[in-house]
Structure 1
Amino acid sequence: MATSTQLTQVNTRQVLRWLAGHLRPYRWRVAGAVVALFVASGAWLALGQGVKYAIDKGFMGDHPGILNQAAVAVLIICILASLATYCRFYLMTWLGERISADIRMQLYGHLLHLSPSFFSKVRTGEVISRFTSDTAILQTVVGMSLSMALRSTVTFTGALILMATTSPLLTLCVLLAVPAVLVPIRILAPQVRKYARLSQDKIADLGAHIDQSLHEIATVQAFNAQSSEARHFDQRVADAFAVARQRIHYRSLLIGLIMVLSLTAILLIAWIGARQVFSGSVTPGELSAFLFYAIMAGGSVATISEVIGEVQRGVGASERLLELLASPVDIADGKQELASLNQAPALHINNIHFAYPDSAPLFENFSLSVEAGETVALVGASGAGKTTLFQLLLRFYDTQQGNICLADQPIASLKLSALRSQIAIVTQESVVFATTVMENIRYGKAEATDEQVIEAARNAFAHEFIEQLESGYATQLGERGIRLSGGQRQRIAIARAILADRPVLLLDEATSALDARSEKMVQQALSSLMQGRTTIVIAHRLATVQHADRIIVLDKGKIVAQGRHEELMKSDTLYREYAELQLLS
């Protein structure tokens, strides 16, 4: 995934520091989990002493009473360890779920403030993959893997101390075996991390392909491209499986090597210990306790080796999440609020220079003034810069030079929320969300009452068809408003703009998807709406330009003519040609 800022190297320590920052608000739950962890580990370690006491004092000493007491003590220890394990598991799992939720909210909040230029370079499916699969991996790491790693570390340390008090010689043998166990961890863990990261990238690629093909399923089926899409998908699945196979290979090799080395070491230590029993250096109970601790220590090392694989997967997932969080918000928020506007403001575009990333300049020394309450229509061929002007006015992009002023204030100095709260927009491709009609229209003004929403729908001539839907205003419209026709979606979008009631209107041919009857009705609604407002319209219809106070003819980022329709038809060849091909067609 291409982002403007990438973290080229993220190590395990950085990831743990990042996770620690998310754990800090829940420090008391973390403390409870740590206490439960120590209690559980201590209880399991105490079992070794119970075994030693039962064998040396009860079994070898031929004292059945002591044996009974030891059995009761072991049972109590097991119950205490089980209760502590429940608390540890519950708290750590809760923390994993909570942190995963917090990270998702943090990521979503960050993405909502990134400009459209960021999303023009990334695929939605890949971003979704980072939200779902990567955060799920982190949830597992925090909720289970870290807990298991801490438990195993405490158990290994405690077992090592108790082994040292039992037999220094055998403990020395254990310590000599530890480096042999750590060697495969050192060599193979980076490979596990590498392929874990690659595996997540391949899964994200799958998600992006699914998102794209299913969203455009009508086009896929219309061109009989199902087989082609399936082949592309099969290839991506094969690539993902090949990378996953490498990750599984290295992780399995890591676990297998550690197990064989650990078991070999325990077997060697048991042989040495048996020789010491024969020589009388240690008692059978001490050897049993030592082997009990050695097995616990070996099991802890094996668990740590397995958890390291999960932690490395977590590091790989965290790299991808941190890349998203590191993506800069390239549209800097201004600091000034906009004074309350008692009337429609004027718009002044002053000598701006603008080019899209990696593209030739579109606007060079471009200026345009729209007076307060004026309706200006923009006409021109595709690529002339009409939609780009809208994006600059809304600060989806910033100019490289020059400035744009709203009510005599440079928009770059205004808070984005203050600027955009003055502008209502209706795009040519109407945006309808997968929720109810009521909520779609209310998107223009979150605090609007149901009555205000219905009134806006009436003014957009949408009320009649909404009432005919199965649940009226409570009807779920489906993803991207799939249950509505193009004209119906357009009227929902117009109702949203009417409800917003903002002093500046940006209309990207707001009636382009309507039939003749609906267009006439909506034109009446828009004419009423534009009264007393500063309006810029991207025009593709004759009816639109005839209502405009002024028409601006754009060609390759330059104003080549301006005036009213009748004037331009007589004086400007480019406009007349455009009108005959487009507006009058």
Structure 2
Amino acid sequence: MAISGALSGRPGAANPAPMPLPDPAPARPKLVPTRRGLGSLRMVWRTASRYPVQIVIALLALLTSAGATLFIPRTFQRVVDHGFAKGVSPSTIAPYFQGLFAVVIVLALATAVRFYFVSWLGERTVADIRIAVQANLLRLAPRYFEENRPSEIASRLTADTTIIEQVVGSTVSVALRNAVVGLGGLIYLFTLAPKLAGMLVVGIPVLILPIVLLGTRVRRYSKNSQDRLAEVGARAVETLGAMKIVQAFGQQRREGERFQEAVEDSFATAKRRFGLRAVMTAVVIGLLFGSVSLILWEAVQDVASGRLSGGSLTAFVLTAGIVTGAAGALTEVWGDILRASGAAERLASLMSEEPEIAAPAAPRSLPTPANGALSFEQVLFRYPTRPEVSALDILTLRIEPGETVAVVGPSGAGKSTLFQLAERFYDPEGGRVTLDGVDLRDADPAEIRRRIALVPQETVIFGASARDNLRYGAWEATDDQLWAAAEAANAAEFLHKLPDRLDTFLGEGGARLSGGQRQRVTIARALLRDAPLLLLDEATSALDADSERLVQEALERLMDSRTTLVIAHRLATVRRAGRIIVMDGGRIVEEGTHASLVERSGLYARLARLQFSDAA
């Protein structure tokens, strides 16, 4: 029976009486966008504008293709006006068709160039945004990821950036092309028939009104749809990551129903979005082509009265069709841009997050050589997600260089909190934590962590090769150094047996290794770190006897000549410690060596007798 699972009750405190707790810090907002409206797309533009050459080439190709498109009605005007007169020979109109073929070739080439460079810009912009968002996320303290679901953040890096890629790589190009074609077409219409073109222009405000009125609601539905899609991704990641538990407890049906519920919510939200867009498109196109029909009726009368030639009417009809098609396309493009605006808001909120734990403006250097002396002085700390409970309650603890201190206590006693503060993942509310005499708040967190090696209870193996997992301790380590660390951690034998040895992919979470093997890889990683301070969350209680023996041997080598703070789950480790700290409720309730604590016949002694009798 492990001490951590058996300790309960609170004997007399060894620390000073607790002081009144300050008011809890206000809860942080969760993934709240920082910008509103289309202004959030400025972030996308700033990223894309790093590539001016590609933008210029894409714009030139766009203008060329738009000009070629508008030249086609002009060609048909000349064909109708000059090619249908009596006595006209085919050779007379042949140059017009030759020009038309030349325009078509130019249109095809310009469109291909535009497609390539616009697609390049879309993919490059999204890649840069993903890199920037991930780089900022890596700066944030663990608190942020406790209050915001990592699976939802991952959805932003995939689903939202895909929406932006579509807009930058396609929609914006389509919008610009249709805007240029529409504007150029209107100018040409005024040269053909000013009265008819004026009638067409008068109807434009009628078309814009529904876009403005419905566009805001489309944008809101678009953002809600993206939120629901993120929830779908989060549910899937959560379930797939715990598949063994799901199947072991026979909860496949329940998880399927939960996922179906999330998908149906996403579909219902999307249905409202595309339903409103369909209404907006129908209204705009109906008004647009209805207006064109009335204008054409007036045009036919002008042809009959001789005020307009047949060729001009043909060109007017073709150009009006191009202009109305461009306007119709712009209404659909507007919906996509609104959707991208919602996605950009969500990504901008991630990029604007500032780390709570950061280096001061003038960080204080840690002394050299490093000793690994760690001290907690009157430390008061509460987790932001549990402000009503003191994780550490005015705790004082000093660990001397080279000393091994074991910490035992029930779940929630504050043992792991010591590690969190030592790594400066959090700052205490009261008191201070020092490393080699320097307050951690005055030092650069990166320098602090370079002096610490961590072996967590829950082993973390990345979905990468054995080599890369080991090199997390020292990325520049040579293969000889990797094998030496593996040998010291009792990991070399099974690593040699892997199909590709150090180049073997270990699977997601180290799925190709046993629990004991994963633990030994993490110990080898800590050995490569070669740090003066070791934080060891011992995790041998779940291992079989042979694996536990190998891990314990590796731990002894790792702890040699290092300052070690170890959360002990087995008394075998406790007995080897120079000093034992018993924690409960964020306070130290007993302290001493194994022998002295046993002689007191207190809580520790009773637990020790119980555990050793169980082992016997």
Q: TM-score by structure 2 length? A: 0.91
CA distance in 2, matches of 1:17, 1:430: 42
Query: Is the 2:142–2:425 contact (alpha carbons within 8 Å) kept by the matching residues of 1?
Result: yes
Change (3 A) 1:342 1:524: farther
- Where do residues 33-182 of structure 1 align in structure 2 (5 Å cutoff)? 33-60=58-85, 62-64=87-89, 65-182=91-208
**Map of 2:443 onto structure 1:** 414
CA distance in 2, matches of 1:541, 1:409: 33
**Map of 1:17 onto structure 2:** 42
Alpha-carbon distance, 1:100 to partner: 0.8
Alpha-carbon distance, 1:341 to partner: 3.3
Specify the code of the residue in structure 1 equivalent to 2:532. Answer: P
Query: Is the 1:7–1:322 contact (alpha carbons within 8 Å) kept by the matching residues of 2?
Result: yes
- Where do residues 132-281 of structure 1 align in structure 2 (5 Å cutoff)? 132-281=158-307
Pick one of 543, 568, 577 that aligns with 2:572.
543
Moved more, 405-414 or 514-523: 514-523
Moved more, 107-116 or 504-513: 504-513
CA distance in 1, matches of 2:225, 2:590: 56
- Please state whether the residue corresponding to 1:25 is helix, strand or coil: coil
Query: Is the 1:494–1:510 contact (alpha carbons within 8 Å) kept by the matching residues of 2?
Result: no
Q: Does 1:492 align with 2:518?
A: no
CA distance in 1, matches of 2:567, 2:236: 34
Structure 2: unaligned runs, 5 residues or longer: 1-27
Q: Deviations over 1:86-130 (max 9, x none)?
A: 111111110000011111111111111111111112223212211
- Please state whether the residue corresponding to 2:337 is helix, strand or coil: helix
**Map of 2:376 onto structure 1:** 349
Alpha-carbon distance, 1:323 to partner: 2.3
Q: Does 1:554 align with 2:583?
A: yes
**Map of 2:18 onto structure 1:** none
Specify the code of the residue in structure 2 equivalent to 1:187. Answer: L
Alpha-carbon distance, 1:426 to partner: 0.4
**Map of 2:456 onto structure 1:** 427
- Please state whether the residue corresponding to 2:434 is helix, strand or coil: strand
Moved more, 322-331 or 312-321: 322-331
Change (3 A) 1:581 1:252: farther
Q: Does 1:436 align with 2:465?
A: yes
Alpha-carbon distance, 1:317 to partner: 1.4
Alpha-carbon distance, 1:181 to partner: 1.5
**Map of 1:31 onto structure 2:** 56
How many equivalent residue pairs?
583
- Please state whether the residue corresponding to 2:50 is helix, strand or coil: helix
Query: Is the 2:31–2:148 contact (alpha carbons within 8 Å) kept by the matching residues of 1?
Result: no
Query: Is the 1:6–1:327 contact (alpha carbons within 8 Å) kept by the matching residues of 2?
Result: no
Q: Deviations over 1:432-459 (max 9, x none)?
A: 1122222211211111111111111111
Query: Is the 1:29–1:91 contact (alpha carbons within 8 Å) kept by the matching residues of 2?
Result: yes
- Where do residues 1-12 of structure 1 align in structure 2 (5 Å cutoff)? 3-4=29-30, 6-7=32-33, 9-12=35-38
**Map of 1:315 onto structure 2:** 341
Query: Is the 1:346–1:370 contact (alpha carbons within 8 Å) kept by the matching residues of 2?
Result: yes
CA distance in 1, matches of 2:506, 2:43: 40
Pick one of 326, 331, 339 that aligns with 1:300.
326
Structure 1: unaligned runs, 5 residues or longer: none
Query: Is the 1:490–1:513 contact (alpha carbons within 8 Å) kept by the matching residues of 2?
Result: no
Alpha-carbon distance, 1:167 to partner: 1.5
**Map of 2:24 onto structure 1:** none
RMSD: 1.9
CA distance in 2, matches of 1:325, 1:35: 32
Moved more, 355-364 or 97-106: 355-364
Moved more, 466-475 or 534-543: 466-475
Moved more, 203-212 or 41-50: 41-50
CA distance in 2, matches of 1:380, 1:483: 33
- Please state whether the residue corresponding to 1:561 is helix, strand or coil: strand
Q: TM-score by structure 1 length? A: 0.96
Q: With CA pairs under 8 Å and 6+ residues apart, which has the higher RCO, 1 or 2?
A: 2
Q: Does 1:399 align with 2:428?
A: yes
Moved more, 515-524 or 98-107: 515-524
Percent identity of equivalent pairs: 40
Query: Is the 1:380–1:578 contact (alpha carbons within 8 Å) kept by the matching residues of 2?
Result: no
Alpha-carbon distance, 1:161 to partner: 1.0
- Please state whether the residue corresponding to 1:280 is helix, strand or coil: coil
Alpha-carbon distance, 1:145 to partner: 0.2
Specify the code of the residue in structure 1 equivalent to 2:249. Answer: F
Specify the code of the residue in structure 2 equivalent to 1:124. Answer: P
- Please state whether the residue corresponding to 1:120 is helix, strand or coil: helix
Q: Deviations over 1:366-418 (max 9, x none)?
A: 22111111111111111110101101111111112222111111111222211
CA distance in 1, matches of 2:377, 2:85: 98
